Amino acid sequence: MWTWYKLLIFFYLTTEIWMEKQFVSRRGMNLQAYSTGNFTDLERTRFKRALYKGHYCRTRGCCEDRNDDCVTHFYEANAMCYCDKFCERENSDCCPDYKFFCQGDNLYQKGCLRDGRHYEEGSVIKENCNDCTCSDQQWRCSQQVCLVRPELIENINTRDYGWTAHNYSQFWGMTLEEGYKFRLGTLPPSPTLLSMNEITVTLPSKIDLPEFFISSYKWPGWTHDPLDQKNCAASWAFSTASVAADRIAIQSNGRYTANLSPQNLISCCVRNRHGCKGGSIDKAWWYLRKRGLVSHACYPLFKDQIFNNNGCDMASRSDGRGKRHATKPCPNNIEKSNRIYQCSPPYRVSSNETEIMKEIIQNGPVQAIMQVHEDFFHYKTGIYRHVNSIKDESEKYRNLRTHAVKLTGNITVALPLVGTPVDCCWPQLPSAS
Ligand SMILES: *[C@@H]1O[C@H](CO)[C@@H](O)[C@H](O)[C@H]1NC(C)=O
Ligand SMILES: *[C@@H]1O[C@H](CO)[C@@H](O)[C@H](O)[C@H]1NC(C)=O
Ligand SMILES: *[C@@H]1O[C@H](CO)[C@@H](O)[C@H](O)[C@H]1NC(C)=O
Ligand SMILES: *[C@@H]1O[C@H](CO)[C@@H](O)[C@H](O)[C@H]1NC(C)=O
């Protein structure tokens, strides 16, 4: 037993040492290859920086025949690559720009490289939200602030801010300005809205507020998932229709569970003439009360908001007894029911976190207007808190806009009604995947 044990240890040690030696000698080989091109330290740093831009053979120079010293660091792949003729084998170990710089007569052909591909002078490629033009063998890029910022995502995800960030592919390529312009769409609360009296929820004095709460568990089938507003800046309509639909289902004890049509609001609420260019929630609530909405199935979202945002395809008339009825069929061939849903007047809940929790638990989801900072577009999970941008650039980013969301539960942290949101509600930005 003993010997076996010792042997094992011994074997283990020798393997380690042997491996270490192997490692050193291989590294030595690489070092040697590297030091033959005799650069000063400064030159070497510059060399590295140039390499990063996809210049390998262009910087190293090309070599004839087989020349194992004709090698350079391929940083992107964490490997070495070659610029000698010998690299053109079946298992090529040529640098990405070998073909372009070392082959044929193209030795100093004009144009630019990107990921090993050659682009003509004047070519334009897109780098996230910026356009890069090849000019004098260099990429020159516009300097717009992008909506998705990989360095911000990394900063958030590697530190403990309490929430995680995500690279939403539908935001990739948009500028921050476009994000504010197309992905939000609620005007700041008007004086009328702000002067509404707060209602205090009366609950049995003994109620334990749960650790977390999810509306769809308490009212299965009665609450509605968020619709994606895409590039239509109408969170005023999306959040209002969704909260109203949930509330109608809950108040009717599940008798009316249809989702309501934000498109009906966008196209027909003439007091919010801007449609997909923003609107106010008080006008939306006014419309719901006075005119009413049909279901989302009856009046679905247009595929392309930008080009279809003109006419209103629904109308209603009062029957004289306080109820309204649609005077047009649904603007699609499938849904037959053009029932009009109306709401009682909205009320305002105090901004006290506990009060909001009670309200949601007792009566259903609420709507909140919040200020949006640039980092919110990356929000995925956790409890959102604004993370400040890099100081010297802050002016570019400090550009707040307002947004309206539906709060459905899970409130365990501070949640002022106008301010930071919670980790539950993502009605207008993409439904988190
Ligand atoms: C190193 O630099 C010296 C002086 O600049 C030059 O004469 C020599 O050829 C270089 N050696 C190599 C291997 O490039
Ligand atoms: C983010 O997503 C886009 C689109 O899906 C992708 O092209 C890009 O490489 C991603 N960026 C990062 C840093 O993951
Ligand atoms: C919020 O309301 C609760 C009672 O519902 C009260 O105990 C608490 O102090 C209030 N918090 C603030 C910040 O006003
Ligand atoms: C709600 O919060 C709990 C506890 O923090 C968490 O485990 C859960 O995933 C959250 N649910 C949602 C839908 O965010």
Tell me the residue type at 192: T
| Residues 125 and 230 occupy one common structural domain | no
Does some domain include residue 53?
Answer: yes
| Residues 115 and 234 occupy one common structural domain | no
| Residues 236 and 383 occupy one common structural domain | yes
Does some domain include residue 427?
Answer: no
| DSSP states along 37-83 | S---HHHHHHHHHHHHTT-SHHHH--BSS--TT-EEEEGGGTEEEE-
| Residues 54 and 101 occupy one common structural domain | yes
| CATH of residue 377 | 3.90.70.10
Residue 117: which of 134, 100, 139, 138 has the closest Cα?
100
Give 112 Cα–ligand 2 centroid separation in angstroms: 22
What are the tokens at 379? 């929000």
- pLDDT, residue 191, reads 85
Ligand 3 atom 14, closest CA? 352
Q: Are 52 and 45 in contact (CB under 8 A)?
A: no
| Residues 195 and 262 occupy one common structural domain | yes
Range of the domain at 124: 110-143
> How far is 349 from 316, CA to CA, in rounded Å?
30
Between strands 198-199 and 348-349, the pairing is: parallel
Count of structural domains within the chain = 3
Give 200 Cα–ligand 3 centroid separation in angstroms: 11
C-alpha 33: how far from its chain's center?
45
Does some domain include residue 309?
Answer: no
Choosing from 212, 415, 426 the residue with most ligand 4 atoms within 8 A of its CB, the one to mutate for a pocket test is 212
| DSSP states along 95-142 | -TTHHHHHSTT-TT--SEEETTEEE-TT-EEEETTEEEEEETTEEEE-
| Burial class of residue 196 in the structure, from the number of CB atoms within 10 Å of its CB (0-12 exposed, 13-18 middle, 19+ buried) | middle
Give 211 Cα–ligand 4 centroid separation in angstroms: 9
Q: Give the residues surrounding ligand 3 with Cβ less than 6 Å away.
A: 352, 354-355
Residue 318 — φ and ψ, nearest 5°? -80, 145
Does some domain include residue 313?
Answer: no
| Residues 95 and 117 occupy one common structural domain | no
- pLDDT, residue 20, reads 36
Choosing from 36, 38, 39 the residue with most ligand 1 atoms within 8 A of its CB, the one to mutate for a pocket test is 38
| Residues 53 and 128 occupy one common structural domain | no
> How far is 225 from 219, CA to CA, in rounded Å?
13
| Residues 127 and 97 occupy one common structural domain | no
| Residues 168 and 255 occupy one common structural domain | yes
| Burial class of residue 232 in the structure, from the number of CB atoms within 10 Å of its CB (0-12 exposed, 13-18 middle, 19+ buried) | buried
Strands (E) located in 316-373: 316-318, 324-326, 348-349, 366-372
In tens digits, what is the pLDDT along the chain, a chain of 433 residues?
Answer: 333 333 333 333 333 333 333 333 332 333 333 444 444 554 554 444 444 456 788 777 788 888 888 888 887 778 889 988 888 888 888 888 888 778 755 545 677 888 767 788 899 999 999 999 998 888 999 999 999 999 999 999 999 888 888 998 889 999 999 999 988 888 888 888 888 777 766 666 656 777 778 888 899 999 998 888 888 888 899 999 999 999 999 999 999 999 999 999 999 998 776 788 889 998 999 999 999 999 999 999 987 765 555 689 999 999 988 789 999 999 999 999 999 999 888 888 877 777 777 888 888 888 888 888 888 888 887 777 788 765 545 555 555 688 888 888 764 332 222 223 333 332 222 222 2
Does some domain include residue 220?
Answer: yes
What are the tokens at 225? 């998932």
Q: Are 203 and 424 in contact (CB under 8 A)?
A: no
Give 365 Cα–ligand 4 centroid separation in angstroms: 16
- In sequence order, the β-bridge partners of residue 409 are 214
- Is 329's C-beta closer than 6 angstroms to any atom of ligand 2? no
Does some domain include residue 245?
Answer: yes
- Is 217's C-beta closer than 6 angstroms to any atom of ligand 4? no
Does some domain include residue 222?
Answer: yes
| Residues 371 and 288 occupy one common structural domain | yes
Give 370 Cα–ligand 3 centroid separation in angstroms: 21
Q: What is the largest CA-CA distance in the chain?
A: 101
Does some domain include residue 331?
Answer: no
Tell me the residue type at 74: F
| Residues 102 and 130 occupy one common structural domain | no
Neighbours of 319 (CB within 10 A): 9
| Residues 214 and 126 occupy one common structural domain | no
- pLDDT, residue 339, reads 95
Residue 353 Cα: closest atom of ligand 3: 1
- pLDDT, residue 124, reads 95
- pLDDT, residue 398, reads 54
